[in-house]
Amino acid sequence: MNKNITSQLMNWHQHENLREMPWKEEKDPYKIWLSEVILQQTRVEQGTAYYERFIQNFPTIKDLANSKDEVVFKLWEGLGYYNRCKNLLATARFITNELDGVFPSEYEQIINLKGIGPYTGAAIASFAFNKPFAVLDGNVFRVLSRLFGIDTPIDSTIGKQQFSKLAQDVLDKENPALFNQAIMDFGATVCKPMSPHCRTCPLQSACSGFEMGIVNKLPVKEKVLKKKNRWFYYFILQYQDTFLVEKRTGKDIWENLHEFYLLESTEQLIWNDSSIHDWLQEQLGIENAIVLGISPLQKQQLTHQLIKGQFIKVEIKSMHTQLQKHQWLPMNEVVKLAFPKYINQYLSV
């Protein structure tokens, strides 16, 4: 039964899979690792250009390890989930400096690396080293839940265990790299989230979900993410030809990216020249500011929060000690730093 599904997926892969990606059939663990990290929670179409740019700038893991943080973050800019970039660098440096530049080939060692979990570990172990570890990503959850008609929530602990075991059971142990590629491509192009191609699906007769008429109800998720609204008011402070720029450090969105002077509020604030002068005077001790502009309302929708606010451009005529403690950079230095899209969409206007 399961053997049948395995061979049918392999058969589909061999004869009908037309999906192409730059890293397909790649065997260099560095390139596989890089592509997999870029693709975590990221569509292939979105990640491909980033992959090409990373390979171009860092042909080997040593090139990546020896690069400065800011250069790498600038290349990652706009891709999101920036801890991936931080962990990518940490792992590149660890392998280069501590492992003599040799990527580990054992699954247990691979998943101990920062930024590599069960999915990415199985992907590297199978694609680079052809070891029999089944990948379990969003595609595999969906394909298996439908093929076997399983309504266990995929985001529950028991669900993860159940599907992990099933994926390993279905895996073609003789051809793990090919099979893992097959089941993910099948999920992405045939067994799609919306309007899957059930009518022409080669596995239709083997699909319990189809037989029960519940394909469009699978997979089941139990968690609902809660959203919140935040107001970000950025003061772009200019002194002569320099700008106040800070790096975000807290456990919050956009950690390790840069920003201007931030005033965050839980509610909307209404600004005019007078209220801006008052606020600058009270909060920063700035007496002689010139308000150069107040932007229209800006919005950025994230998965879990909605950021709204404005950008207020201010020129200050004299520097004082409190302000001097911040970092002031000319624009040609500012543009080398990585910023969140919320700020970049203002800067590029």
- Active-site amino acid positions: 36
Shortest distance in whole angstroms from residue 331 CB to DNA: 20
B/e letters for 144-154, b = 16+ CB within 10 Å, e = fewer, are bbbbbbbeebb
The first and second tokens of residue 259, run together, are 């920003």
Q: Which of 10, 17, 28, 40 binds DNA (CB under 7 A)?
A: 40
Q: Does 121 bind DNA (CB under 7 A)?
A: yes
Question: With CB under 7 A as the contact rule, which of the stretches 217-225, 234-242, 290-298, 321-329 interacts with DNA?
Answer: 217-225
From residue 183, alpha-carbon distances to 44, 133, 163, 258, 327 in Å are 15, 13, 14, 39, 50
304 vs 320 by CB, closer to DNA: 304
Query: Where does residue 191 rank: exposed (0-12), middle (13-18), buried (19+ CB within 10 A)?
Result: buried
From residue 198, alpha-carbon distances to 128, 167, 219, 345 in Å are 32, 21, 15, 41
Q: Which of 4, 11, 14, 81 binds DNA (CB under 7 A)?
A: 81
The first and second tokens of residue 98, run together, are 């501590």
Alpha-carbon distance of 40 to 196, in angstroms, equals: 22
**Amino acid in the structure at residue 152:** T
Q: Does 226 bind DNA (CB under 7 A)?
A: yes
193 vs 285 by CB, closer to DNA: 193
- Could you tell me if 260 and 335 are in contact, meaning their C-beta atoms sit under 8 angstroms apart? no
Signed CA dihedral, 322, 327, 328, 331: sign only: negative
Q: Does 341 bind DNA (CB under 7 A)?
A: yes
Sites for DNA among residues 82-101 (CB under 7 A): 82-83, 87
15 vs 251 by CB, closer to DNA: 251
Could you count the other beta carbons within 10 Å of the beta carbon of residue 214? 15
- Could you tell me if 151 and 126 are in contact, meaning their C-beta atoms sit under 8 angstroms apart? no
Shortest distance in whole angstroms from residue 6 CB to DNA: 18
Q: Does 80 bind DNA (CB under 7 A)?
A: yes
- In this structure, what are the phi and psi dihedrals at residue 141, rounded to the nearest 5 degrees? -55, -45
Q: Which of 29, 104, 115, 309 binds DNA (CB under 7 A)?
A: 115
The first and second tokens of residue 181, run together, are 């590629």
The first and second tokens of residue 322, run together, are 């409190």
First to last CA, the chain: 58
Q: Does 110 bind DNA (CB under 7 A)?
A: no
> Helix (H, G, I), strand (E, B), or coil: what is residue 43?
coil
299 vs 320 by CB, closer to DNA: 299
Shortest distance in whole angstroms from residue 289 CB to DNA: 29
Q: Does 194 bind DNA (CB under 7 A)?
A: yes
Contact mark string toward DNA, 143..162, x via CB under 7 A: -------------xx-----
Query: Where does residue 249 rank: exposed (0-12), middle (13-18), buried (19+ CB within 10 A)?
Result: exposed
Contact mark string toward DNA, 245..264, x via CB under 7 A: ------xxxxx---------
Shortest distance in whole angstroms from residue 97 CB to DNA: 18
184 vs 201 by CB, closer to DNA: 184
Q: Does 61 bind DNA (CB under 7 A)?
A: no
118 vs 149 by CB, closer to DNA: 118
Alpha-carbon distance of 145 to 165, in angstroms, equals: 13
Sites for DNA among residues 9-38 (CB under 7 A): 21, 23-24, 35-36
82 vs 233 by CB, closer to DNA: 82
Sites for DNA among residues 305-334 (CB under 7 A): 305
Q: Does 142 bind DNA (CB under 7 A)?
A: yes
Report the interface residues with DNA, using CB under 7 A.
21, 23-24, 35-36, 39-46, 78-83, 87, 114-121, 123, 137-139, 142, 156-157, 181, 184-185, 187-188, 193-195, 219, 221, 223-226, 251-255, 300-305, 340-342
